[in-house]
Chains A and B, each alone.
Chain A
Amino acid sequence: MGITPETVERLARLSCLSLTERERENMAADLVELVDCMKALAALDSGDGAATPAAPEGLREDRPIPSMDREELLACAPAHDGESYLVPRTVG
């Protein structure tokens, strides 16, 4: 499982990160060190598989309650038209 700048490029695409060539090289060196540390983990016997986190103790009741203030939520938007968030075009 060698880590190369090409590996980093693939991981960056999966992670939706745009990296410069220098960043790819530096990250490759860093990841080699980190993955080397994790070799001890890879050597473990995983037994009967991953333990799953404890299930929530109980979900809250499914009933409508007041939500947040529209104006306050719109204030968080990078752009809005007074009613809705304006987002970059994703289709067409």
Chain B
Amino acid sequence: MELRALTALELGTAIRRGEVSIPEVTELALRRAEGAGDNAFITLTGEQAMGRARGLQGRLGEADSPLYGVPMALKDNLCTRGISTTCASRMLEEWTPPYSAAVVEQLADAGAVSIGKTNLDEFAMGGSGETSRFGPARNPWDKSRTAGGSSSGSAAAVAGGNCWFALGSDTGGSVRQPAAHCGLTGVRPTYGSVSRYGLVAYASSLDQVGPLCRDGADCAAVLDVIQRPDRRDATTVKGHYGGLLDGLTDDARGMRLGVPTHWFGEGLDAEVRAAVLSVAEVLKDRGAEVVELPLPMPGWVVAAYYAIACAEASSNLSRYDGVRFGLREEGADSPEERSAAVRAQGFGAEVKRRILLGAYVLEHYDAYYRKALGARESIGGLFREAFARCDALLTPTTPATAPLLGESAQGRMRARLSDVFTIPAALAGLPALSMPCGFDGRGLPIGAQLIGPRFGEQIILNLAHAYQRDTVWHRRRPWGGEV
């Protein structure tokens, strides 16, 4: 049994059957993470992880979660009590939170074992991992390429076999895009279904925590743990959560799969187009009805996202003033100069760029911000019309496969526009999943996105599960072979 090739659920089963112990798999994960050479982790918590593993092994008889004992990783913008949380920024390089994020507590209650904090774009602002203060995580499929972003380290850690699942955060695509680039299944949940308590804020009306896993079933298991209302996050929505794993079916009969033809036009790599469209054929064979619909996305979608995200970031990051926590600079003459100096030293270029753009947007409130909010409403309306004709939408996740390290910086605007497929669902607050659907001629993974209606996680997970029953892309591993 090659442990690192298993899914999280398969490993959880092996643990419960006594085929492998929790300390054994945790040690394996830590050893691999240390030697992987992919810069996936900022902090490895070896001692804590092994101590926890031994404790969990002793209570194995009490295990009631399928993820009990499974080693996982946490994006380093999720607060972890007593463990460094840097957001890959100099500003928080020395900061240790006094509390843990809600999702961290929930996974701990389920018995998962965190082996460390993963690399990311600084404050989750970026799409390649290259704005990290600690250098980018590298794609396990080709280490000269990015693992995507901003949840670059989480994607690299799971794809590289360093752990069995990870949490990332998705504001405009930062779980789905790295999942696509690294051959993983990743989910952005419905906005409001996962608590943001303890997630360091980038854009509060867009941020959502989501899983990066080997397949849809693993994602269902993780979502069952983390989707719930939380009194500490007033944007969480009361409702019935859980049961996604139990409700998983590979029967796609009666499902209407919408294919928005306008999303497959110019600018999309030919191999990506072919691979994503082939998903429809597989699901058709499983009984789904394929419905072509136009759903043209307006040209201002990316602009609306950046207007809202940067305006909110500008506000959220004003808390880093060198007074209460984080980096502090001494010696300036006035409080304003002191804060300005701290922020100049503490933030990287992309963070500064987004703060300035946010200030510009808010300075021109009516021209940009107010219109962006209205534009967001109309995007929601377009999706509602589409979901009157289908149960879920099939689209590409990214226009092309993973770029070379350094390529995104040379074409920064082009890199931003490459978020065009992931941004609309984020703006509308909808659940969206990326799953592997093939490989290009260079052996790089291609991701297909499924978008569901609000609280439609079961729909997109079922479609992913049905697809993954008949395909093997999600079972390929960078170190060779299929499982």
Verify that A and B bind, or say they do not: yes
Return chain A residues, CB-CB under 8 Å to B363: 11, 14
Report which of B338, B355, B367, B412 forms a contact with A42, defined as CB distance below 8 A.
B367
Report which of A12, A30, A31, A88 forms a contact with B323, defined as CB distance below 8 A.
A88
Residues 336-362 of B, flagged 1 when their CB comes within 8 A of A and 0 if not, give 111111011001010011011111110
Return chain B residues, CB-CB under 8 Å to A47: 374
CB distance from B324 to the nearest CB of A (A): 6
A69 — nearest CB in chain B belongs to which residue? B98
Residues 65-83 of A, flagged 1 when their CB comes within 8 A of B and 0 if not, give 0001100110111110000
Number of interchain pairs (Cβ within 8 Å): 154
Q: Residues of B at under 8 Å CB distance from A?
A: 81, 95-99, 205, 231-232, 234-235, 237-238, 298-300, 302-304, 306-307, 314, 318, 321-326, 328, 330, 335-341, 343-344, 347, 349, 352-353, 355-361, 363-364, 366-377, 412-413, 416
Q: Residues of A at under 8 Å CB distance from B?
A: 1, 3, 7-8, 11-12, 14-19, 23, 26-27, 30-31, 33-35, 37-42, 44, 46-47, 49-53, 56-60, 68-69, 72-73, 75-79, 85, 87-90
CB distance from A86 to the nearest CB of B (A): 10
B344, B376, B412 interface centre (most CB from chain A within 10 Å): B344
CB distance from B424 to the nearest CB of A (A): 15
A33 to B372, CA, bound (A): 18
A79 to B322, CA, bound (A): 11
CB distance from B291 to the nearest CB of A (A): 29
B302, B335, B361, B374 interface centre (most CB from chain A within 10 Å): B374
CB distance from B430 to the nearest CB of A (A): 14
Return chain B residues, CB-CB under 8 Å to A27: 352-353, 356
CB distance from A78 to the nearest CB of B (A): 4
Contact in complex: A37, B328 (CB < 8 Å): no
Return chain A residues, CB-CB under 8 Å to B323: 78, 87-88
Contact in complex: B343, A68 (CB < 8 Å): no
Contact in complex: A38, B368 (CB < 8 Å): yes
Contact in complex: A78, B300 (CB < 8 Å): no
Contact in complex: A51, B374 (CB < 8 Å): yes
Given the known interface contacts A50-B374, A59-B234, the answer about A76 and B307 at a Cβ–Cβ threshold of 8 Å is no
